Amino acid sequence: MNPVQRFMSVFLFLVFPSCLSIDIIAPNQSIKDGDVLVSGGQSYELGFFSSGIDSSRRYVGIWYRKVSERTVVWVANRDNPINGTSGVLTINKQGNLVIYENNRSSVPVWSTNVPASISMTNCTAQLQDSGNLVLVQQDSKRALWQSFDHGTDTLLPGMKLGLDLKIGLNRSLSSWKSKDDPGTGTIVIGIDPSGFPQLFLYKGQTRRWRGGPWTGLRWSGVPQMATTYIFGVTFVSSVDEVSYSYSTINNPSLISRMVVNESGVVQRLSWNDRDQQWFEIWYAPKEPCDTYGRCGPNTNCDPYKTNNFMCKCLPGFEPKSPEEWYLREGSGGCVRKPNVSTCHGGEGFVKLAPVKVPDTSMASANMSLRLKECARECLRNCSCTAYASADERGLGCLRWYGDLVDTRTFSDVGQEIYIRVDRAELGTCPILLLTCLLCLNLFTCYATSFDS
């Protein structure tokens, strides 16, 4: 910060203490309860707030400036509220952004906690017009900390959800405890990088909903993304990073957010300025088939045939418990039919579509293989139970080993998966064809295996 900027910030702070209309907190400058930091483009505000009927519990948060219904998108001291209006947000001698109970406090109730090993002299904090609060070392212009890396319940445009594998940072979102308590709740959404990375919604440690893997255009379990063109999306999967972010480049004036709430739902919302309210674009889980593992292993959950049981065994499988299945209880799932051979016995595949592909936590991915090559590789390994394109545009190969969990049907948009079955399940597959390659375009069955 140059001398003129520093002078103006101090001047404004002294003259207008109840409305601090700048976007930077300088060293030795404090934001008191009642002051408001405003981003440069007037999109966001930062200050102290209360939630619910208990106005004595005060938090530092960021909210929209141009939305009539106060909507908090980030909270600093969400688990350590201040009692009363004596709170202070400032930069301490070590260069960290901190919240004190009052000016005489020596121990902060919240801190950015940047390690002392990093140079922390001459630091400022800026509220950017993206809603990101950034702590910057002015001499090097290095960002030492940012609120976008430590989200609460809301994903904003430009904010990443996922993992920085180089530094071990997991950018996930967690709900408020309740509508009136911004403390860390039990509902969490994040990306699981194991196997082939997927989006998951958890309640505590329990998987509640699976958004599925990234298909190249969308999350496998969010078909609405295929028909929503108002957002630009970026998905990164590398040795250093697995992350998802979105932008409103197609409509820069659009105010949109993704939020995970205390009721166990993740929502995509946009602000309707005409009606002065939030409009819900989509949410999940929405129906029984959205519940993770609703029908148990080796099943497909189909919610569209309302007169029939939603749980269906995958081709080549039968109910593990026929009695439970008869009573429309499908959580036990299905098992391979008895006395069949799926190991070099003339087996092949049956296509299932359009679906959300099964849980890929234990799947194997090879982005260099095409679909025909993927079929060969799966048939060569007797433990391979299914395969699919990793990218719905026909790129990459996903292969599953063992049980197939959390598959479901969609009405129109979805992926294709090929389930390994014994030759008896193939039915009318032409017996005179010498190789599977010749019937790859029939999409009904594949009669012969590939020899190694």
In a domain, 56, yes or no: yes
Same domain, 155 and 82: no
Task: Give the domain-ending residue among 252, 286, 320.
Answer: 286
Which residue range forms the structural domain that includes residue 112? 1-148
Give dist(CA 151, CA 74) in Å, integer: 6
Contact (CB, 8 A) for 133 and 74:
yes
User: Which among 350, 372, 349, 351 has a CA at the least distance from the CA of 415?
Assistant: 351
Same domain, 327 and 267: no
- Beta-strand runs (E) in 1-43: 24-25, 30-32, 36-38
In a domain, 61, yes or no: yes
Same domain, 115 and 171: no
DSSP string covering 252-319, please? TT--EEEEE-TTS-EEEEEEETTTTEEEEEEEES-SGGGBTTTT-TTEEE--S-TTS-SEEEPTTEEE
What CATH number corresponds to the domain at position 24? 2.90.10.10
Same domain, 269 and 301: no
In a domain, 350, yes or no: yes
What are the tokens at 263? 């009721």
What are the tokens at 424? 């008896």
Give dist(CA 40, CA 278) in Å, integer: 24
Map residue 334 onto helix, strand or coil.
Answer: strand
Same domain, 296 and 195: no
Domain count, the chain: 3
Task: Give the domain-ending residue among 123, 148, 173.
Answer: 148
pLDDT digits (tens, 9 = 90+) for 207-233: 999 999 999 999 999 988 876 667 889
What are the tokens at 34? 């009642």
In a domain, 446, yes or no: no
In a domain, 449, yes or no: no
Same domain, 143 and 157: no
Same domain, 118 and 230: no
| Residues with Cβ within 8 Å of residue 328, at least 6 apart in sequence | 309, 311
| Residues with Cβ within 8 Å of residue 161, at least 6 apart in sequence | 151, 155, 171, 172, 173, 189, 190, 191, 199, 243, 244, 245
What are the tokens at 448? 């012969």
Contact (CB, 8 A) for 371 and 340:
no
What CATH number corresponds to the domain at position 161? 2.90.10
Same domain, 115 and 181: no
In a domain, 445, yes or no: no
Q: Find out whether the peptide bond into 288 is cis, omega within 30 degrees of 0.
A: no
Same domain, 1 and 140: yes
Give dist(CA 374, CA 391) in Å, integer: 13
Sign of the torsion angle spanned by Cα atoms 406, 408, 413, 415 = positive
**CA 155 from chain center: how many Å?**
9
**CA 423 from chain center: how many Å?**
40
Give dist(CA 25, CA 20) in Å, integer: 10
Same domain, 280 and 302: no
In a domain, 450, yes or no: no
In a domain, 447, yes or no: no
Collect contacts of 324-333 with beta carbons under 8 A, ≥24 apart.
Answer: 330/294, 330/295, 330/296, 330/299, 331/293, 331/294, 331/295, 331/296, 332/296, 333/295, 333/296, 333/297, 333/298, 333/299, 333/403
pLDDT in tens, the chain (452 residues): 444 444 444 444 444 444 444 899 998 889 999 999 999 999 999 999 998 877 889 999 999 999 999 999 999 999 999 999 999 999 998 899 999 998 777 899 999 999 877 778 889 999 999 999 999 998 889 999 999 999 999 999 999 999 999 999 999 999 999 999 999 999 999 999 999 999 999 999 999 999 999 999 999 999 888 766 678 899 999 999 999 999 987 777 899 999 999 999 999 999 999 999 999 999 999 999 999 999 999 999 999 987 889 999 999 999 999 999 999 999 999 999 999 999 998 999 999 999 999 999 999 999 999 999 999 999 999 999 999 999 998 899 999 999 999 999 999 889 999 999 999 898 744 333 333 433 333 333 443 333 32
pLDDT digits (tens, 9 = 90+) for 91-104: 998 899 999 998 77
Same domain, 169 and 240: yes
Same domain, 357 and 374: yes
What are the tokens at 19? 């409305």
Task: Give the domain-ending residue among 104, 123, 148.
Answer: 148
